[in-house]
Chains A and B, each alone.
Chain A
Amino acid sequence: MTTNRSWSSGILRTEDWWAVWIGLGVYAASLLSLAGIDLVGWMARPRAWEWTDVTGTFAWSQFFAPAGAEYAGWHALASFFTTYAAFTALFAVGARFLQLDVRRFVLAFTALFLVTWAAWIAGNELHLTMVDATVNGRNRYREAGLSWGLQLGEGAPYLLALIAGLAIGNFAKGLAARLAEAARPEWYIKTAIVFLGVNLGSQTMEASSFAVELILTGAAATFVAYLFFWPIVYAAARRLFGFKRDVAAVLASGISVCGASAAIATAGAIRAKPIIPVTVSMIVVIFAMIELIVLPGLYTAVAPDQPIVNGAALGMTVKTDGADAAAGALLDELMIARNLQLTGEQWQQGWILSASLLTKIWIDVFIGVWAFVLAILWIRNVEKRDGAVSVGPMEIWFRFPKFVLGYFVAWAVFFGIATTWPALAPTLDEGTAVVQSPMRTMLFMMTFVAMGTMTDFSKLKGMGKIALLYGLALVIVIAPIAYGVAYLFHRGLAPPLVAP
């Protein structure tokens, strides 16, 4: 039985909380670097390579190596297997508390891990990543002797991970079913988002006013999602498509607010039959994948000079945390590579992703409040049973996304240490760099693969009216309004440049 009756319900049995425990646990281990102890430097980090380099002498260290200087003497494979063992153990402990089949979980996690790493290594081949641009008088593309290249920057591994996942989900459905126990993109992305809190701390130290502006405008965008998108989609569902009130409300939340999470919260608030959010969530997951495939490339091509506008627009448009963060990460890399190509200037990584994510996080945070208000309105105005049925304010807490706490705790700890003891700031940044980059990136990569494996486009068949409403609302209402609002708040803003 899994019910929520007290504030601590679910603290050890939901993915959301386990993202916090794993994320903050690894972060705490990295903080021991302040005492000169490196407990996370064993993490493997892929290296850039070129295929002709490996046709002669072969060495694993050409593809990856330990990320921490303390572990530089380790064999590359020792680093890789330690990375595998550590993350498998962490998530297996979580799986045990989540009452999953741990054996099936570990086998599926292992397969996802291997696919992730294969895509990550392959995606670091120079013909895929290297950008033909002269930065500070150097052109690494020319120095590497490349005659051609896709110039995708660090977006290449993400794209390969996505292709690999989608190939499994659509062409190897038997394998996808066996991987289902560990295909939990929301768990991986929420853990990665806790790691991103460390990144936000680092960003706040570098450009505090910019970080604060992103946070505040992200909050403002929340009102757009709830006050504009929801009523428009609800009205369209009722008047144009003739859906019943409860179906229209769940659809409006799923399509316009924050995907499956909002659909379930709304259905619960109005006590709709669970089959409604299940159906809506299935279609949300598929459309989120379409948004993830289309929007980062489209925004990069159409508006390469509006990085923060593009990021924030993604945050309001792409549903589910996993797809939004994945799309934000992909946009971040594609925009950086494109800008480098066009201007020879290199933006710092992570700011475009932060613009996307902070917008989404605010939308997530308010889903509990929105569902609570909707529940009261529904009881009073639709069911007209005020006095006979009531809901308590604890509902807001039960629906609150707990990983957000981890994200802000990670940020606050970093910011607190760096501002209280400024002399420790460089050590702190260096000691947590492994969490901020390769660990966070690996979980993003696993999110791409896991999302792909659980996306089966053939499920769109038979979803006629719902799919049509989703597509029309996305193209006519949500994407244009989101872009307009993002443009209003963020036009002309760009991430700081990488120091020469």
Chain B
Amino acid sequence: MTAVKLVLEFEGDRWRARGDGVEVAHRELRGLETLIEASVAGERPVYVELAFDMISLPRWLHQYQAHYCNYTLRVPPRGAPA
């Protein structure tokens, strides 16, 4: 199992993920995940740990909640059925 750690951001109208040599952006999160999968897929499953960067939320909102989301995306081996 391989783990890749990415930072997830939201800039204006698009999601962006970067880290561990990956930097991709897309208007939709599902579209972004497809781009991530294309970037990291290999012979073995890859677990991509995405952590949202709170800087993407307006500063005044941080006082209400200091966390947005972290999640893990499982990328199947290249060529495996989806």
**Residue positions of A touching B, CB distance < 8 A:** 1-5, 10, 14-16, 180, 183-187, 259-261, 264-265, 267-269, 271, 273-274, 277-278, 281, 320, 375, 387-392, 394-395, 398-399, 454
Binary contact track B16-43/A, C-beta < 8 Å → 1, others 0: 0000000000000100000000000000
For the complex, what is the distance from the CA of A112 to the CA of B57, rounded to whole Å?
Answer: 25
Number of interface residues of B (CB under 8 A): 28
Question: For A265, what are the chain B residues with a Cβ–Cβ distance below 8 Å?
Answer: 65, 67
Residues of chain A with a CB closer than 8 A to B4's CB: none
Measured between C-beta atoms, what is the minimum distance from A142 to chain B in Å? 46
**A10→B62 CA distance, assembly (Å):** 11
Contact indicator B74/A268 (Cβ below 8 Å)? no
A215 to chain B, nearest CB (A): 24
Which of A15, A267, A391, A398 makes the CB contact (< 8 A) with B63?
Answer: A15
CB <8 Å contact, A3 and B57:
no
Partner of B7, one of A3, A261, A391, A454: A3
Pair B61/A388 contact, Cβ less than 8 Å: no
CB distance from A385 to the nearest CB of B (A): 9
Q: Closest residue of chain A to B58, judged by CB?
A: A278
Q: Looking at the complex, which one of B53, B57, B63, B71 makes contact with A271 (CB distance below 8 Å)? A: B71
- Listed in ascending order, the chain B residues whose CB lies under 8 Å from chain A are 5, 7, 10, 29, 49, 51-58, 60-74
A259 x B68 contact (CB < 8 A): no
Name the one of A3, A183, A187, A260 contacting B65, with C-beta atoms under 8 angstroms: A260
Q: A4 to B65, Cβ gap below 8 A?
A: no
Provide the residues of chain A in CB contact with B10, threshold 8 Å.
273-274
Q: What are 13 residue pairs bridging A and B, where the CB atoms are less than 8 Å apart in the complex?
A: A1-B53, A3-B70, A4-B66, A4-B67, A4-B70, A10-B67, A186-B63, A187-B63, A260-B65, A268-B65, A274-B68, A278-B61, A399-B65
Taken together as a complex, chains A and B put the C-alpha atoms of A260 and B58 apart, in Å, by 12
List, in ascending order, chain A residues with CB within 8 A of B61's CB.
260, 264, 277-278, 281
Bound complex: CA A395 to CA B51 (Å): 11
State which of A10, A390, A398 has its C-beta within 8 Å of the C-beta of B72: A390
Q: Are B69 and A395 in contact (CB under 8 A)?
A: yes
Check A186 against B64 for contact (C-beta < 8 Å).
yes
Q: When the two chains form the complex, which single residue of B5, B55, B62, B67 contacts A268, counting CB atoms closer than 8 Å?
A: B67
CB-CB under 8 A from A14, the residues of chain B are: 62, 66
